[in-house]
Copies of this chain bind each other. A is one copy, B any other.
Amino acid sequence: MTVRQDVHSAGIPVLCQSCEARHRGVCGALDPDQLVALSKTSSRYTIEPGAELIGDAETVNSYSNVLSGVVKLTKGLSDGRQQIVGLQFAPDFLGRPFKVESEINAEAATAVSLCSFPKASIERMMRESPELEHRLLKQTLKELDEAREWMVTLGRKTASEKVASFLLMIARNIDPATDPATNSTSFDLPLTRADIADFLGLTIETVSRQLTRMRTEGVIRIENNRHVTVESLSRLERRSGA
């Protein structure tokens, strides 16, 4: 990749120049000076699938941007039942401001790369830049909308509607260019069947049965368990309840 040197990237840290978080993420709120200051304390990590990013009730002392991969946010009941309460894709901001403790677990669902900052850096920058806080508010509102959308799915949809809704959501996130007119997409599921079950409030077996049913009915194709081709987005949409 060539490093652009036009007026817009002048003075911007090299690492940030091609970073999606600068375009669509929270870093877009910062001017070159602020980016330089922040990037001095930032570092990039790559994380293996299954690795825990934030433990339940652990002290949070850093925030991150998701650069690639999918992070799942989970909450658990004392007897081991689990529920995924959110999925974060690039270039989402990861971390819960203004709280020392998080009651949420964050875990890499796929391989994940992060750009990570000390808690203090971000919080200082937030005090200096109202625009940064504004972006954070917008992301939080987006997450709230998504959470409420899933509450409808969890509370009122049938198993097959849940699975259809899930596939639709993944299709739209993995390939944001998903044109409803195109009517066909293909992607790798970022989640195992167990994760999908924890996301939809179902069991592994029910998820598997529903996927099999959609396959035999020609709505989707599945290769190697993970790779899904949606043959008809409109049929999928019709099955999602909505």
Contact = CB atoms under 8 A, between A and B. Distances in A.
Interface string A138-161: 101101110111111011110000
B141 A96 contact: yes
A233 B130 CA distance: 43
Nearest to A161: B77
Given A141-B96, A154-B201, A78 B148 contact: no
A141 B75 contact: no
A150 to B, nearest CB: 6
Contacts of A86: 148
Interface string A73-110: 10101110111011000000000111100011000000
Q: Which 3 A-B pairs have the closest CB atoms?
A: A155-B201, A85-B148, A147-B147
10 contacts: A75-B149, A75-B151, A78-B242, A85-B151, A103-B145, A104-B148, A130-B130, A133-B133, A136-B137, A154-B201
Interface of A: 73, 75, 77-79, 81-83, 85-86, 96-99, 103-104, 130, 133-134, 136-138, 140-141, 143-145, 147-152, 154-157, 200-201, 241-242
